Structure 1
C-alpha cells in the first residue's frame, strides 16, 4: 500500500512563525513493496482544514521530486495559517490517498509594519551600567471569548515572556544570537489557551545575553548596544470574528527584578527576597512600578526566526557527591554537558547558596577552574525563607561536569539537583555503533560535543570566556554534524550572518557573528563561506542555500584572488595554519606545515566547490570561469610545492593529506604522496601529528588510496596522540588538545584547554562514510541516490550506521564472522530513493544470497548487478536488504 507521510514545511512539522514568503514542502513515501519511486504528485493548499476552497493547487505534476518542493506563483501572507496535503503516483501508476493534513503558519514577515514599539526600563530606574535586570508588564482586558491568539516578540538582549503567571513557550535565549546590526529574529507563540475573557496580564524578563553582556576574552561589553528593550504584539481573534492587537508602548510598566547579575560567562545572581509575587498575573499590588520608556531602534532588521530554538532537551541526575582533598563538596554528573543546574533548597531568609561549575578535577581530585580563564560560571541564590524553594537560571549557561556547592545544608541530597541540558533543538538523525566499545564512546563524545557547542551558533567551546562562532571549527565539523542531526536550518541562519559580517572586499571574519573587530581572512577559517553551504546542499539537497550564499561564496574567492604575491597562489596575510598541530615548534600553537601550502590548497578547494555550485545554479559563464581558475591554481600549486620528480616539497602529514584530499596532484604524484603519507605514519608509529586542518581529512586520504588498514590503526590507537586516548582518560566529550590531560594527570595548559571542543570529532564523518559506508552523491544530493559501500577493517567485527534523511531512514550494517569468513551486509533504502550498494570482499555475484537464501540475481528490488575489482556492485531500489556471502578478499 502506498502512503504519503511525514509532511514538512521548511524542514519542520506544522511550524508556526516561519519567515519564508515562498515556503517549500517535503514528504516521504511509505510502501510494503521494494523499489518504489514517485512518478507524479499533486499538492493542495487551503486556508481551512477542510479544504473548502483551496487557495492553491498544483494539479498532477509529473515529477519524482518529494523534497523542497516550492509552490510556484504562491506567496504567503504574514501571520496566516495554511493547510496542505499531498498525494502521489508511483512508477506503476498506483495513486495514494490524500495525506493527513498538515499546516504551516507565517510569522510577521520582514518589512511588515509593527504596531508595537520598542520599550525599555527608564534609566532613572535601572541605569545603563547597572547589573540588575528589569521586569516589564502590562495588564489588559479581553471583552469576549478568545478563538485564537498569537504573540510576536523580540528584544534587544534576551527575553522570556509570562502570560497570566505562566511561562510562554519552551524556547530559551530568545531572540538568539545574530549579527544584530543586520538581523534580529522574531518569535511567534501560540497563547490561545493562556488567555481568558476578562482581566489578563503579560510580562517579560530581560537579560543581557550576547547583545549587552560580556563577550570574548578581551572583556568586551555593550558590543551591540547598552539598553535592554522589548518589542511585542499580542494578536487576538475573538470567537465573534473581531480582532485586536495589544502591543508594547508607554502603557507598559517596569520594575527592578530579582536577578541582580546575569552573564553568559559568569552565571547568575538571584535574590529571591526581591521577587514580586503575582507580577505577571494582574494581581500584583506592589507599588514600585514605573512607566516604561519608548525608545527608537527601528524595525528594518526584524526577521522571523530561521533555525530551531534552544530548548531544554533532557535532564541528568548527579552520579555521586565527592568531597575533594581540599574539602570542597562537589557534584559529579558523569557527563560533560552544557546547560544549568535546577535545584531545591530550604533554609532561613537571606541564606546564600552558590554553585560553581567546572569540566574536570585535577590530578589530586580537586575542583579545577583555571581553564575557564575569566569565566566565573557561578550561580548565587539568596533564599526568601518560604519552605522548599526551586531555582534554575534564565539567561546564562554553563559547560560542566562537576559543580562545587557552598551554603547548602548537609548532608547533600543528590535528588535535589538535576542538570538541564540545553542546545538548539535539532532533530537527531544519525547513529553509529560497532564492535569496539571505545569507538562507541568516541561516537558518544562526538555527539555530546555537538550538543554542547550548537547552542544557537556553532561555538568553539561552551565554558571559558570565548564561546564564539569560529568559522574554521564550523567548516571542519559540519559534515559530521550533518550526519548526527538535521543542521540545515541551523547553518542557514549562521551562514546568513556570515554573509552580513563579511567585509566589502570579501574577507570572512574569524568568528561569526563577528565581535573581534578587524579579524578577517584566514585560510581554512574563511573557507567556511564556501564549504558550509556546499555541505548543506550535498547533505539535504537544499539548492536554496546555494542561491542565497552564492554572492558570499564568490566574494570570498575574489578576496583570495587579490591576496597572493604570485598569481594563483595565496602566500600573504595572517593564517592560523594547522592550528594545534603536534608537529609545531615548542611553545607554538601553529603546526609545522607551511601556511602558504595550506592557504593555496584551500584556495583550490574553495574554487572547486564554487565551480560546482555555479553548475548546480545553471550559471554557465561562472562555471567556465571558475573551472579555469581552479586549473590555474592547481597548476601554480604543483609548480610551487611539487618537485619535477613528483614529490611534495613538504614533510608533514597535513601537507600530504590536503594535497591528496583536495585533488591537487596528478595521478603519479598523488600515488607518491599517499605512499609518503603512509611512511610518515609508520615513522610516528601510526599516531597523528595533525592539527585542526589535517585531522578532518587524514582518514579519508588514506581510504582514497585503499590504505584502510592504516586508517583503522589510526582510529583504534589508544595512547597519545589519538582519538581514543581521551576516551581512556574518561573523556565524555571531544578535547581541544590531544593531551588536554597528560598521562600523569597534569594539564596541557591552563589558558587554552577546553574539554568540550568538537573540531577533532570530525572523524565521525569517516566512520559514517567509510566504516559504515553511507555516502551522498553530488549529482543526486540529499540521498536521492546514494552509495552504500562499507569497508571492514582490522579491529572491528561489525559496524552499523544509520541516518534519517529527507526521504526516510538509510541504514548500513555489516558483520564479519572471523571463524568461517561469513559476511552479512544489511541495507535500508527509503522509498523514492536508490542506492549503489558495494559488497566488499567478493567479486563473485553468484556467491551472494539475499533475504535468507534467495540468489542475488533473483532478489526483488535489485536493478542491476556487476562485478568490480574488489567488490560486487548492486544497483538497488528502496527496501530492506540482507546480503550473505563468504568474505574472500583481504582489506589492506
Structure 2
C-alpha cells in the first residue's frame, strides 16, 4: 500500500478514535467532596464524578467503580479492595463505599467508567486516590505536651516546641498527624509543613478537635532533622467575645504530634510528642491574639536547632484522652486575593493611612529595611469618619494592631496567629515607607467558587460583589457574624439566613458539614440550641427562634443543594431534639414563652410617634419557625424513610398552624403585627389557609408601599421577602425593593461606597455620621441573603430536585435589567441561565449538565414562536413542550447547550 494511503488511513483511524473518545468521559472525581484527600474518615467514604458528553440528552446508564491499594492492581484488575461491578443506575454522586472495612493510614486508588443512554462507553477515568486517617485513639503513640513553664492562662509570648531526630536510611514516604490546643505553625528543617492557616481551626474542642494529616516526605532528609512547632492562643485560650474573658477551653496551649516515616526498606520510624521535646518562650512572637493582634520582634527570629535549643526547658506530658479527635472536616484557611494600596492618605489628624479599596479579612505584608530596634505599628479599620480620620470606635475592645520590631536587615513581615477585618490601615513608623512594599492579603476557608451572577446594572453587580466579600470575610473556618470587632462568633441565626446564598457563591459543603457537627455536639440535652456555635457560654437567648432553627433549616437546605442524604442522617436526631424541645415548652402547641432576638435590627427610628417602627411580635415569629422546623423534619423523615415520624410530625404541624391562626390572625385575615416580616414569615412558611394567602400578600404589598417601596425587615424577614412577593405575583414590588437606593435598602450602602454587606441598613448615615458604635459592623453578611433571590428569580437558576438532579430555569425579567446571567457549578457540572432583551426579543442561553434534566420556563411567551438555534421548538425531538399558562411557555429537555429566541408579549 502506498505510504500516502497508509498515512491517510492512520489519520482517519486516529480521528475516529478521538471522536469516539470525546463522546463520553468521566472527570472531576471527588471523595467526600474533596479531590485526592488525605487523612479522611475511613468509615464514611462517598464517591462522585462528572460526565462529559457533546451529545444532548445524555444520561448515565451504568457505572463500574474499582478500588485498590496500588495503582498497578487497578490496571491489572487484580486483588481489588473493592469492585462495584456494573451497577445499573443514573446515580453519579454520593456513591457509598460498600466493601470490607478500610484500614487506617492507608492510601487507596480508585477509578470509574460508565455507559450512557446513547450506548456509549467511557474509558476508565484517570486514577485518583484518597488516604484514610487515624481511626482509633489507640493508634496514637503521641501524648499531649505542654510547656514546662506554667502560664496559668496569662497572655504573653508564643511558645515554641522543638525536637531533633535522626533518620538513618532512605525515606519512602512520611505523614505528620498533628493538632494543638491553640493554633499552630509547624516546620520541618526550617520549612513550613503547609500553607494552611489557623490550624487546627475552631471546633467544640472538648467534644470535637480536628487533627490534620500532611505528606511531609519532601521535607525530611537522611541524617539529623529538626521539628519546630509554635502555638498561639487562638480561639482555645485567647480573648473571645466582648467580655474580655480568656481561657474558654483551657489555660495552657498544647501539642499533639505524630510523625510516621516509612523507609525504602519498609521499616517504620515514629516521632511522637513526648517527654523528649523541649520548649521555650524566647521566640520572636511576643504576643498574639485574634482580636488584639500580634507583636513580632524580628531580632529574636533566630535559627532553631540542637545548638540554639541546648538551654531550652523541657515539657510536661499529659495523660489526656484522645477520644475527642476527629479528622479534618472543613476546608483549610489559606491566603487568597492580594491588594496593593489604592492610595496613601494624610488625615486631618496628621496620621498616615493606607486605603486598599476593599474591606477584607486577613493582614498586611510588609517588605522593609529599617534600623534595628525601630518599631513599625499597623492599626486596622473598616471606614474613615466624616472628617476623613481613621475610625476604630466600632471595633469596641478589639485592638486590631500588629507591631513589628525591625532587625536592620531586608525583611518580609506578616503576622502568624491573628487576623484583621479592614479596608484601611494606619501606619506608625519613624522612617520612610514605600507604598509598593505593602500588600493586603485576604484569608478565608478554601471553598471553590461555584456561582457567578452578573447583570446589566452596575449597582446590582456591586451588591453581588459585596455579598461575596461578606461571605469571604466571615467564612474563616466558622460562619461568623463579623470579622473585626471583639465578637467574631458563629451566630446560628446569621448562618441559617445566609446559607442558600452562600451555597450559590461557593462550595460550602465541607465547611458547613463541620459546623453542623459542632452544632449537634453543643446542643443541650434538653434539645435547646446555643445561639453561638461553637458555644462560648450559656445565654438566656439560647433556643431563640430563627437562631436555634439553624438545627433544621441548614441540614434541609444543605440536602436540597447537594443531594446528600448523609447530612440528614447525621443531623436527624439533632433536628428532632430541637422541635421536641419546643413542643415541651409550648402551651397547647403555642410557643409563647422564652427569650428571643426577634426580627433582629428591623427598621426603626427615634421618637416613633407615628408607629412606623417595623416591630413584629417575637412570639408570632417563634410560632412560624416552630412550624418551619417541624416541616423540615417531615421532609427529612420522608427522604430517610421514617414513616412513623412523618405521621407524628405531620399531626404536630397541623396543631402548630392551628394555634397560630387562633392567636395571631383575625377572622378577616389581618395579623396582630402589621409588619412586613409578620406577613412574609406567615406566607413563606404557609401558616395561613390558602383562602387567606392572597389578601395577606396584598397587605404585605400595601405595607411596602406605605414605606414608599422601602424594606423594613430585619435578619429574619429579609431572606424571604422578595421570594414571597414573587410567589404571589408581585415581582414588580420585589424589583422596586431591590432597586431602591435610599435608606433602608440594599443599594443604600452601595451608594455610600460599601464593598461588603453592612450589619445595619444605615451603618453610615446620609450626613456621614455613624450608627450605634457598640454594634455597627461594616462586614456582616445577613442582609446579603438577597443573593439567593437574585440567582433564583432574576436569573432563574433553581434546583427542581435535590442536588440539581433536575433543574428549573425560570427567569423573571423586571426592574431596570436588560440582561442577567447566573452560572452554578453543581455536582453534575455547570448549569447556566443567561438572558437578555433586545428590541423586544427575549434571548436565553442555557447549559444543562450531563446526567440531569431541566424544565425551561419562557417568560411572557404564551403563543410566541420560540426557536432553539433557529429551529422551531415544536420540530425538535430532544425537547418536550409542556402545557403553558396564560403568560408563559415551558419545555423539558436533557443535557446540552441551548440558544432560545422569541418575541416577548407585551
Tell me the TM-score normalised to structure 1 length: 0.97
Q: 1:577 aligns with which of 595, 598, 604?
A: 598
Answer with 523-532 or 284-293: which moved more. 284-293
Q: For 1:386-535, what aligned pairs fall within 5 Å after superposition?
A: 387-410=409-432, 412-519=433-540, 520-535=542-557
Find the aligned partners of 2:259 and 2:821 in 1 and give their Cα distance: 49
SS in 1 for 2:504: helix
SS in 1 for 2:777: coil
1:783, CA displacement in angstroms?
Answer: 0.3
Q: For 1:47-196, what aligned pairs fall within 5 Å after superposition?
A: 47-50=69-72, 51=74, 52=76, 53-123=79-149, 128-196=153-221
1:27 aligned to 2:44?
no
Structure 2 counterpart of 1:335: 358
1:199 aligned to 2:220?
no
Report Cα offsets for 1:665-695 as digits up to 9, x if no partner: 1122110010011111111110011111111
1:600 aligned to 2:644?
no
1:552 aligned to 2:574?
yes
Report Cα offsets for 1:643-674 as digits up to 9, x if no partner: 11223232101000001111111122110010
SS in 2 for 1:290: coil
**2:614/2:675 contact within 8 Å kept:** no
1:849 aligned to 2:849?
no
Find the aligned partners of 2:363 and 2:532 in 1 and give their Cα distance: 25
1:307, CA displacement in angstroms?
Answer: 1.1
Report Cα offsets for 1:695-725 as digits up to 9, x if no partner: 1110001000111111001000111110000
1:110, CA displacement in angstroms?
Answer: 4.7
Structure 2 counterpart of 1:289: 312
Answer with 582-591 or 343-352: which moved more. 582-591
Q: 1:880 aligns with which of 897, 901, 905?
A: 897
Find the aligned partners of 1:112 and 1:618 in 2 and give their Cα distance: 36
**1:585/1:592 contact within 8 Å kept:** no
Find the aligned partners of 1:356 and 1:76 in 2 and give their Cα distance: 51
Structure 2 counterpart of 1:315: 338
Structure 2 counterpart of 1:622: 645
Q: For 1:730-879, what aligned pairs fall within 5 Å after superposition?
A: 730-777=753-800, 780-817=801-838, 820-844=839-863, 847-851=865-869, 853-859=870-876, 861-879=878-896
Answer with 347-356 or 284-293: which moved more. 284-293
Q: 2:67 aligns with which of 27, 42, 45?
A: 45
Structure 2 counterpart of 1:712: 735
1:287, CA displacement in angstroms?
Answer: 3.7
SS in 1 for 2:555: helix
Structure 1 counterpart of 2:3: none
Q: For 1:645-660, what aligned pairs fall within 5 Å after superposition?
A: 645-660=668-683
Structure 1 counterpart of 2:19: none
Which stretches of structure 1, 4 residues or longer, exceed 6 Å deviation after superposition? 587-590
SS in 1 for 2:811: coil
Report Cα offsets for 1:382-431 as digits up to 9, x if no partner: 1122x211111111000000000001522x31111111111010111001
Find the aligned partners of 1:352 and 1:311 in 2 and give their Cα distance: 28
Report Cα offsets for 1:511-544 as digits up to 9, x if no partner: 0011022441100000000001111100000110
1:22, CA displacement in angstroms?
Answer: 2.9
Find the aligned partners of 1:325 and 1:74 in 2 and give their Cα distance: 71
Find the aligned partners of 2:203 and 2:455 in 1 and give their Cα distance: 39
Answer with 46-55 or 451-460: which moved more. 46-55
Find the aligned partners of 1:465 and 1:357 in 2 and give their Cα distance: 13
Q: For 1:325-364, what aligned pairs fall within 5 Å after superposition?
A: 325-364=348-387
Structure 2 counterpart of 1:240: 265
Find the aligned partners of 2:206 and 2:99 in 1 and give their Cα distance: 32
1:326, CA displacement in angstroms?
Answer: 0.3
Unaligned runs of 5+ in 1: none
Find the aligned partners of 1:116 and 1:46 in 2 and give their Cα distance: 29
**1:577/1:590 contact within 8 Å kept:** no
1:641, CA displacement in angstroms?
Answer: 1.4
SS in 2 for 1:624: helix
SS in 1 for 2:674: coil
Report Cα offsets for 1:217-249 as digits up to 9, x if no partner: 011110100011100111111111111111111
**1:22/1:75 contact within 8 Å kept:** no
**1:178/1:497 contact within 8 Å kept:** yes
SS in 2 for 1:665: coil
SS in 2 for 1:496: helix
SS in 2 for 1:782: helix
**1:576/1:590 contact within 8 Å kept:** no
Report Cα offsets for 1:463-515 as digits up to 9, x if no partner: 00000000000000001001001111111111111111111110000100110
Find the aligned partners of 1:245 and 1:860 in 2 and give their Cα distance: 64
Find the aligned partners of 1:540 and 1:453 in 2 and give their Cα distance: 22
Q: 1:250 aligns with which of 275, 286, 311?
A: 275
Find the aligned partners of 1:860 and 1:169 in 2 and give their Cα distance: 54
Find the aligned partners of 1:339 and 1:751 in 2 and give their Cα distance: 23
SS in 2 for 1:503: coil
Q: 1:567 aligns with which of 588, 591, 609?
A: 588
Report Cα offsets for 1:17-46 as digits up to 9, x if no partner: 112423000001000100100111000001
SS in 1 for 2:139: coil
SS in 2 for 1:691: coil
Find the aligned partners of 2:169 and 2:534 in 1 and give their Cα distance: 45
Find the aligned partners of 1:669 and 1:551 in 2 and give their Cα distance: 35
Find the aligned partners of 1:321 and 1:104 in 2 and give their Cα distance: 48
**1:577/1:591 contact within 8 Å kept:** no
**2:153/2:247 contact within 8 Å kept:** no
Find the aligned partners of 1:486 and 1:320 in 2 and give their Cα distance: 34
1:132, CA displacement in angstroms?
Answer: 1.0
Find the aligned partners of 1:240 and 1:748 in 2 and give their Cα distance: 68
1:590, CA displacement in angstroms?
Answer: 9.7
- The total of aligned residue pairs comes to 876
1:609, CA displacement in angstroms?
Answer: 0.8
1:585, CA displacement in angstroms?
Answer: 6.9
Q: In 2 relative to 1, CA 586–551 (structure 1 residues): closer, same or farther, beyond 3 Å?
A: farther
Find the aligned partners of 1:500 and 1:797 in 2 and give their Cα distance: 48
Structure 1 counterpart of 2:285: 259
SS in 2 for 1:193: helix
